[in-house]
Copies of this chain bind each other. A is one copy, B any other.
Amino acid sequence: MDAATPPAAPAATPASARVEITYCTQCRWLLRATWVASELLTTFGTDLAEVALVPGTGGVFRVRLGEDVVWDRSVDGGFPELADLKRVVRDRVAPGRSLGHTDRAAAARTAPPAG
């Protein structure tokens, strides 16, 4: 390594990562939103600064990680796949961490068929 090469950029300071889940109250998506929040907090705990539930209207279901929109129903359609969402959050807040079966299932989906 060139002595002048800076070290790899560090991951975002863990406790600075805020997730924001905006859901449509008219569509009664509060339970979906709290489910996603609970899953992320169960997996990442204090590696997240907070998960905010934001009541909205008009069919919104949007997940932000920091300033980035990582899922938006109006763009992506439907609802986020939780395993995909966890990988996105993991890559930001705990890049070295294995997500166990979530990672293995993703690897299996992308592996060539056996035989």
Contacts and interface: CB of A to CB of B under 8 A. Distances in A.
Interface in A39-70: 41-42, 45-46, 48-57
Q: Please tell me the size bucket of the interface on A.
A: 20 to 34
A40 to B, nearest CB: 9
Q: Helix, strand, loop or mixed for chain A's interface? A: mixed
Given A34-B34, A34-B38, A37-B34, A50 B54 contact: yes
Given A51-B52, A51-B53, A52-B52, A38 B30 contact: yes
Nearest to A38: B34
Nearest to A53: B51
Given A41-B55, A50-B53, A51-B53, 17 more contacts: A25-B41, A30-B38, A30-B41, A30-B42, A31-B38, A34-B34, A34-B37, A34-B38, A37-B53, A41-B53, A45-B55, A46-B57, A48-B55, A49-B54, A50-B52, A50-B55, A52-B53
